Amino acid sequence: MRVIALVRKESTLLLRDWHALFLLFVMPAVFILVMSLVLQNAYALHQGASVRYYLVNEDSGPVSAALVERLAGAAEFTRVSSDAPASALEEQVRSDHAQFLVHVPRGFGQAMAGAHPLALQMLAGPGVEPSVYKLFEAELHGALARVYLQNSIAGIAARIPGMDTSGFDLDAVDKLLHSESLYKVAGRNQVPSSVQQNVPAWLLFAMFFIAIPLSTTWVQERQQGTYARLRSMGLSAGSLLAGKLLPYIGVNLLQVVLMLAVGVFVVPLLGGDRLTLGGSLSALCLMALAVSFASVSYALLIANLVSTSEQATIFTGAANLLMAAVGGIMVPRFLMPPLMQTLSDYSPMSWGLDGMLDVFLRQGDAAMAAPEALRLFLFGLACLAAAALRIRLWKRK
């Protein structure tokens, strides 16, 4: 009965606080929308249009023309036409208006097969990420290898009269590689969109931010003397915690529904990739519940460790960013050095992320997500136990 009264009170208070509702529901929805659209092309080079290059071709031969044509066929990169001189274009790249400048020197094609070949020049802007640099370089290498091979075969054929070159099918190279992602939608393999890869991480990150409004509310009530009054009425630490835990888990789950709805319905309307919810609704529910329980319990612990609302806001914000950085939200774990990967094993956000990726990318069921969910539930229970202990030791000041 006491817990019901606490839950009802908390719900009424939340419904009457428009600022809190805005922070709790509109902000995460906007956050997930913006992150989905911003990250649309971060790693999805197949989507094109985001990496731009200038090309200055001072060579007029067929070899360089073939190279330019081959490069133009790469959908991942977009050539920006310009009549400006190479020096001006270099300046444009230096200021990151385009990412690359490819300079084909005069006589490049003719010198290719000779003793002193001329090197093609590739310049990258300072803001180009190493991974994008390597991708463009590989693309250029591929194009160069192809025209070099083509040029060499033509040279050999010229020296050997009557040589049949019809057996040299350069397109056959493309058939020597079959690549596909293990990600499946409706039983079919397809490369996951960056939205599919990134939204679960940012969803998790947003869910943990419930710690700010929750801990701030708790601190305010403590400062108002309400908790002293409730404690003097004989309410146990467990009742007080449950009175906050239950409504805020409800809020957190509503946040999840809203954010997923944004990913599924709103993002595609704005030109982004549609989020798919994975193959198992029970796995999704299990993970949402586990992350909610962990994040709300963690928030209750923070609320009982800090003295002021300011401390709650600053500590929670900083701790969430750290947990996210270590947990693989900002940088994929496989890109981290070994020490950080080991540290990452201890971040609740890392457990949450693994579970979320089980659901959203690996098409896992509840059994697959269960180990991560269990860890999160245990983490939540540990936080609640520590918070309850803190309440018992709490001294009225």
Partner 1 sequence: MIQIEGLSFRYPAAERAAINELSLQVRPGSLFGLLGPNGSGKTTLISILSGLLTPAAGVLRIDGRPMPAETRTVQRFSALVPQEHAFYPRLTVIENLRFFSGALAIPTAETEARLTEALSITGLDGFIAVRAEHLSGGLKRRLNLAIGLLNRPRLLFLDEPTVGMDPQSRRFILETIKRINAGGTTVVYTSHYMEEVEMLCDEIGVLDEGRLLARGTLTQLLGEGGSHRLGVSLNAAPTAEQRRALGALPAHEINGTEFSIEDCSEADLRRVVDALGAAGLGVSRVKYGYGNLEELFMRLTGRQLRD
19 or 175: CB nearest partner 1: 19
Nearer to partner 1, 159 or 395 (CB): 395
**Which of 19, 175, 178, 397: binder of partner 1 (CB under 8 A)?**
397
Q: Does 2 bind partner 1 (CB under 8 A)?
A: yes
Is there binding between residue 9 and partner 1 (CB under 8 A)?
A: yes
Q: E strands along the chain, which residues?
A: 51-57, 77-79, 100-104, 121-124, 184-185, 188-189
CA angle 238, 378, 346 (to 5 degrees): 130
Cβ neighbours for 255, distance < 8 A, ≥ 6 positions apart:
24, 25, 28, 206, 207, 210
Take residue 317 and report the two structure tokens written for it: 């914000």
Burial of 76 (0-12, 13-18, 19+ CB in 10 A): middle
Question: C-beta of 231: minimal distance to partner 1 in Å?
Answer: 6
In whole angstroms, how far apart are CA 217 and each of 33, 111, 308, 385? 27, 74, 10, 20
Q: How far apart are the first and last CA of the chain?
A: 29
- What's the closest the beta carbon of residue 245 comes to partner 1, in angstroms? 16
Contact indicator for 145, 129 with CB cutoff of 8 Å:
no
User: Using CB under 8 A as the criterion, what x/- string covers residues 204-243 for binding partner 1?
Assistant: -------------------xxxx-xxxxxxxx--------
Q: How far is the CB of 130 from partner 1 (least distance, A)?
A: 51
**Beta carbon nearer to partner 1, 214 or 284:** 214
Instruction: Pick the closer one to partner 1 by CB: 59 or 221.
Output: 221
At 315 the three-state DSSP class reads: helix
Q: How far is the CB of 361 from partner 1 (least distance, A)?
A: 42
Question: Residue 162, by phi and psi: left (phi above 0), alpha (psi -120 to 50) or beta?
Answer: left
Encoded one letter per residue, x for contact with partner 1 by CB under 8 A and - for no contact, window 130-169 reads: ----------------------------------------
Residue that the structure tokens 């290498």 belong to: 141
Q: How far is the CB of 235 from partner 1 (least distance, A)?
A: 6
Write down the least CB distance from residue 383 to partner 1, Å: 23
Cα–Cα distance measured from residue 36 to residue 260, given in angstroms and rounded to the nearest whole number: 11
> Is residue 395 a contact point for partner 1 (CB under 8 A)?
yes
Number of residues in contact with partner 1, rule: CB under 8 A? 26
Contacting residue, 8, 46, 97, 141, with partner 1 by CB under 8 A: 8
175 part of the interface to partner 1, by CB under 8 A: no
Select the span of 2-10, 140-148, 250-258, 339-347 touching partner 1 (CB under 8 A).
2-10
Tell me the sheet residues that pair with 184. 189
For binding to partner 1 (CB under 8 A), which residues are involved? Answer: 1-2, 4-6, 8-9, 12-13, 16-17, 223-226, 228-235, 395-397
